[in-house]
């Protein structure tokens, strides 16, 4: 015959040790009773709110995730069940998860909103999401000098980060820097740069810079809100069918070892058409 063993609470400074781990230390019991007295008093006054809007909580979780935090780390730090954080995220592509929540328990909301980047954010995180956000703002027509105040960075740092992005595949930034860029991006994306100090000339110049490098705009990323931090997602922004075909052909030639004729047969295209596409794309890249 076996008896169930009670798990030891990881800490004794929240209500969880009493409710989840059945802790009955005097201090923990008194903390629980004090909370119950406060809850009943608020109910009598009509001030008690059991559920609250999930939108600000979801946005806060997204900010933390953008800086490299994991849902599990957020849940542990907030002292809530992992399901509480996961339900705030978009449903999986397979559709196995229930639809996202529009209301959450007020107590859980307060706990999650109290989590700061310093609590859960790694010291360094991949720079990909930060770079994509800055690129999108420039492509929108926002000059770097006007982006800087909203992301707590110097314009020279933004410029260096963008111009060196292609050279440094594994480049990293501080987690707090990534969070500041995410918040600034959420504030500026889709806004008219003229309202934030940009001139018509500087706005046009920023747009030309973004267009010359095929940087996706914030409008493009709005269609894929959860892909901007995904290193496996390759944005096909202003990429023509010919450029996609040229890329597939080069992969077959350079990686699979096929000849141009064999690649054309694999892609079900005429060899002459493949030659024209490759030559056109080469000339465009050279220009």
Bridge partners of 52, per DSSP, are 104
The model's pTM: 0.55
Separation of alpha carbons 127 and 170, rounded Å: 8
User: Domains of the chain: which residue ranges?
Assistant: 16-45, 51-120, 125-222, 241-286
Q: Report mean pLDDT in 10-residue bins for the chain, 287 residues.
A: 58 72 84 80 69 86 80 84 83 51 83 83 83 94 94 90 73 84 90 92 93 89 83 74 76 81 83 80 62
The pLDDT assigned to 111 comes to: 87
C-alpha distance from residue 181 to each of 64, 150, 158, 189 (Å): 12, 8, 10, 11
The pLDDT assigned to 40 comes to: 78
Model pLDDT for residues 108-137, shown as the tens digit of each residue:
888 888 888 777 777 788 888 899 999 999
The pLDDT assigned to 96 comes to: 47
User: CB-based burial of residue 143 (10 Å sphere; 0-12 exposed, 13-18 middle, 19+ buried)?
Assistant: buried
Bridge partners of 104, per DSSP, are 52
The pLDDT assigned to 171 comes to: 83
The pLDDT assigned to 7 comes to: 65
Separation of alpha carbons 182 and 137, rounded Å: 11
The pLDDT assigned to 185 comes to: 92
- Measured distance between the N- and C-terminal CA atoms of the chain, rounded to whole angstroms: 80
* Paired tokens of 185: 């991006």
The pLDDT assigned to 163 comes to: 84
Q: What is the dihedral of CA 92, 94, 95, 101, to 10 degrees?
A: -10
The pLDDT assigned to 136 comes to: 94
Separation of alpha carbons 221 and 248, rounded Å: 24
Q: Are 91 and 99 in contact (CB under 8 A)?
A: yes
Q: Are 91 and 104 in contact (CB under 8 A)?
A: no
HEC letters along 187-241: HHCCCCHHHHCCCHHHHHHHHHHHHHCCCCCHHHHHCCCCCCCCCCCCCCCCCCH
């Amino acid at each position: 015959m076996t008896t169930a063993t009670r798990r030891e609470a990881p800490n004794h400074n929240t209500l969880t040790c009493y409710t989840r781990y059945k802790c009955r230390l005097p201090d923990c019991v008194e903390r629980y009773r004090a909370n119950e007295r406060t809850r009943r008093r608020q109910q009598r006054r009509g001030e008690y709110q059991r559920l609250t809007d999930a939108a600000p909580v979801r946005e806060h979780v997204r900010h933390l995730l953008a800086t490299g935090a994991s849902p599990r780390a957020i849940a542990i730090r907030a002292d809530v069940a992992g399901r509480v954080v996961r339900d705030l995220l978009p449903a999986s592509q397979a559709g196995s998860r229930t639809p996202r929540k529009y209301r959450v328990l007020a107590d859980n909301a307060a706990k999650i909103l109290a989590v700061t980047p310093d609590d859960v954010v790694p010291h360094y995180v991949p720079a990909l999401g930060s770079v994509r956000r800055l690129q999108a703002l420039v492509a929108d027509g926002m000059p770097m000098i006007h982006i800087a105040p909203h992301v707590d960075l110097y314009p020279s740092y933004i410029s260096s980060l963008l111009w060196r992005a292609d050279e440094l595949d594994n480049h990293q930034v501080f987690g707090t820097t990534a969070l500041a860029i995410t918040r600034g991006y959420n504030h500026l994306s889709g806004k008219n740069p003229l309202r934030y100090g940009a001139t018509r000339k500087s706005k046009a110049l920023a747009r030309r810079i973004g267009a010359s490098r095929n940087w996706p705009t914030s409008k493009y990323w709005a269609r894929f809100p959860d892909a901007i931090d995904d290193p496996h997602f390759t944005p096909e922004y202003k990429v023509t069918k010919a450029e996609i075909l040229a890329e597939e052909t080069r992969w077959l030639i350079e990686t699979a070892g096929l000849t141009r004729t064999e690649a054309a047969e694999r892609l079900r295209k005429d060899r002459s058409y493949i030659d024209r596409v490759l030559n056109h794309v080469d000339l465009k890249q050279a220009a």
